[in-house]
Amino acid sequence: MRQSETSHTVPSRRARAAGRALLASLLLVGAGHTSPAAATGPEPKAVAATPASKAFATTPANWPDVHSQARPLEFVTRSFHLDLDVDFDAQVLRGHATLEVRRMDAQARELILDTRDLAIRSVHVARADSEDFKPVGFRLDPPKGELGSALRIAMPPDAARVRVNYATSPQASGLQWLRPEQTADGKAPFLYSQAQSIHARSMAPLQDTPWIRATYTASLRVPAGLVAVMAAEGDPTNRKGQREFRFRMPQPIPAYLLALAVGDLEFRAIGPRTGVWAEPSKIAAAAAEFEDAERMMTTAESLYGPYRWGRYDVLMLPPSFPFGGMENPRLTFMTPTVIVGDKSLVSVLPHELAHSWSGNLVTNATLRDGWLNEGFTTYLERRIMEAVYGKERAALEWGVGAQEMRLALDELGPGEEWRGELAPDLAGRPAEEGSDVAYEKGALFLYQLERRYGRSELDAFLHGWFQRHAFTSVTTPQFVGELQRLLMAKHPGRVDADFLSRWIDGTGIPADAEFVPSDRLARVDATRERWQQGVLATQALPAAQWTVQEWLHFLTRLPRPQPVTRLQELDRHFQLTASPNAEIAHAWFRLAIQSHYPGLEPALETYLTSIGRLKLIRPLYEDLLATPERAAFSRRVYAKARPGYHAIAQRALDKIMQEIP
C-alpha cells in the first residue's frame, strides 16, 4: 500500500514495555526463527519460548498474529477455489469456497477459519483428491469486533478438503458496490475489493493471516456487459460480453492480496508485460500516466532479482478507493487522484510495483512486522524513481517523505507513549491502525545501512533476502539475524547492537540519522524564509518552475496560522483553492483551514465529496472539526459524502466524528 495511507495510533503501556524488551528478543532468536508457512516453503512450527524470545514465540498458546482467530499450528490452507455469483441487486457474492488444507497436528479435529459478516449455508468435507463431499457440523462464533466470527468446522481424521457454501453481506468491509452514477462513465455499476489488512474474511472464509500463503483458482459469474478482473492470471478465453470469468493464481499469496473487480472495463497494453484496465473514458489518460511501468519493472529486476508474477497491470478505480494504491499481485489497484497528466504523482506506481518483491514475494508474517513490507518498499520505490527519473527527482521524494514522517511524529503529541518503534506490540490494537512512520523510518533505516555498507553491498543483501525467502512470510527476528550474519559479521564496527536498538526498538528518529539531501528543497526553504520575512514578494516566488514536491514542501513547512492576507496573495497568484492537483489542494486546504482562511467551503465540499482517499480527506475533516466555525460544515459535508466512501473510510471517519465534539 502506498505511504501515508494509515492512521496514527498510540500503543498501551503494555505494548510500550514489550517494545523496550524487543531488541534483546531480536538479537537472541533472530538467526534461528522458523520461517512461516508457504506453499513452496517450510511449514510453521512451534518455537520454544525462552525468557528472551517470548515476544515472537510461536506456540498454540502464543500464536503471534493477534488479528486472526485461525490456528495454523493445527491446519494450514495450501490452496482454495472460489465459485461465486456477483449479485449487484442484492450487493452480495454468493457461492462456495473450497479449501485444500494440510493437517499440522495429527490430533487436531477442528478447523478454524476467519469470517466477518458471512452467511454460512452449509459445510462439507472430503478426503484429499476426492469429490465425495459429506456434510459436517460447524459453528459460527459470536463476532469479536473487527476480528469477526470464528467459523469452527468439525474435521474427521481423513478430511483434507473443506467446502463452505456462503454469501457475503451488503455491508462487507472488503467490498464496495457502486451505482453507475458513482463511476467515471456513469453507465454501469462497479464492484471492487480491498482485502488489506484483515478484510479478506468479509469476502470468503479463510485463514486471514499473512503468516499463511496459498494458491487459488476462481470462477466469477457477472451480469451481462460487465468485465471481471482479479489479481491473478486470467483465462485466455475471458472476453467482454461473456458471463463467467475464470482465474488462476499459481504463486502462493497471503489472504490480504486476494482482489477482484467488476465493471465496464477496457484494457490497453503499455509494454510487453504491462498494461492498464480502466473505464473507457479513463483508459487513455491512465495509459499515458503509467507508460513507464515496463521500464520500472526492468530497473527493479536489475536490482533485486526477477519479477516472479508474470504480468504487471494496473486497474484504475473510481474515486472512492480509500488508498493511493494497493499492491495486489499482477494487478495493482490505483486511485484516480494520481492521474494529473504530468507524472508528478507517479511515485505511487513504483511503490506498488516494488511490493512485488517486498510484501508480495516476501511478506511480513504479522502486522507487527509490517515495516518489513512498507519500509522496504518505500526504499525500493526511491531507488526505482532515481533510476528512471534521476537523482534529483528521487531526492525530492525523500525530502517530502521525511517531512511527512516529521509531521506524523508531531501529530502523535508530546504526551503520547508511542513515538515510532518499527515493530511495536499490536495486541489490543485495531488492524487498520498503524503509522506513516513505518514507511519512512523503515526506508530511512535501510538508507543508513546503505551509507554504512555501500549500495552494492546492501543491494546484494536485499537481492539475496528476496531470493532466500521467496513466497514465504518473514519476521523481524529473521531479518535481524540475517543482517547480523551477512553484513554485520562481515564488516564489524559499522553497525552495532546500539544502532539496531535505536532504529528498531527506539522511539522517533535517531539524532544521528542521515537524510538524503535535496538542493532544490533547500532552495525552497530559503525562498520560504524570505517570503515569510517579507523580503520576497508573493508575485516574485519562483513557483512557476516548482515541481509538485517543491510546492508540497513549501506549503507544509509554513508555520500555522498564516496571516489571511498573505494566503489571499498566494491564492490570487497561484489559484491554490482551485488546484486540479489533489495533493497540492490537500496541502493548501490544511494550511488555509488552520489559518481560518475565509471562503473555502464550496471548494472544500467539492473536494471532500469527490475523493475517497483517506490520506487526503481524513486530515481535512480533523482540521475542520478542530475549527469551531467550520465544525458544523464538516459534519454536514460528511453526511452528504459518506454514502460514497468505502466502508474502510467510513469506519475511520465515523470514529473521528464521534471522538471530536
Q: Show the beta-strand stretches assigned E in 207-273.
A: 214-221, 227-230, 233-234, 244-253, 260-263, 266-269
In three state form, how does the secondary structure of 86-143 look? EECCCCEEEEEEEEEEEECCCCCCEEEEEECCCEEEEEEEECCCCCCCEECCEEECCC
C-alpha cell at position 352: 506498488
104: amino acid identity, one letter: M
Phi/psi at 267 (nearest 5 deg)?
-120, 145
- The Cα-based distances of 72 to 108, 392, 561, 575 in angstroms read 11, 47, 53, 56
Give me the phi and psi of 229, to 5 degrees please: -130, 150
Q: Strand 362-364 relative to strand 472-474: parallel, antiparallel, unpaired? A: parallel
C-alpha cell of residue 303: 536490482
Q: Is 110 a catalytic residue?
A: no
Angle subtended at Cα 304 by Cα 360 and Cα 26, rounded to the nearest 5 degrees: 65
- 3-state secondary structure at position 309: coil
User: Residues 74, 279, 289, 352: which is the catalytic one?
Assistant: 352
Query: Which residue in 348, 401, 609, 424 sits closest to 513, CA to CA?
Result: 401
Q: Which of 216, 379, 439, 638 is catalytic?
A: 439
Residue from 372, 252, 284, 276 nearest 325 by CA: 276
Q: Are 280 and 144 in contact (CB under 8 A)?
A: no
The C-alpha atoms of residue 82 and residue 235 are separated, in whole angstroms, by: 15
Asked if residues 521 and 399 have their Cβ atoms less than 8 Å apart, the reply is: yes
Hey, is 313 helix, strand or coil?
strand
Residues 6+ apart with CB under 8 A from 646: 176, 194, 320, 321, 322, 612
- Scan for cell 507544509, then name that residue: 556
- Write b or e for each residue in 373-401: b if 16 or more Cβ atoms lie within 10 A of its Cβ, otherwise e: bbbbbbbbbbbbbbbbbeeebbbbbbbbb
Neighbours of 427 (CB within 10 A): 14
Encode burial over 611-631: b for 16+ CB neighbours within 10 A, e otherwise: bbbbbbbbbbbbbbbeeeebe
Distance in angstroms (rounded) separating the CA atoms of residues 75 and 61: 15
379 is catalytic: no
- Residues labelled catalytic: 352, 439
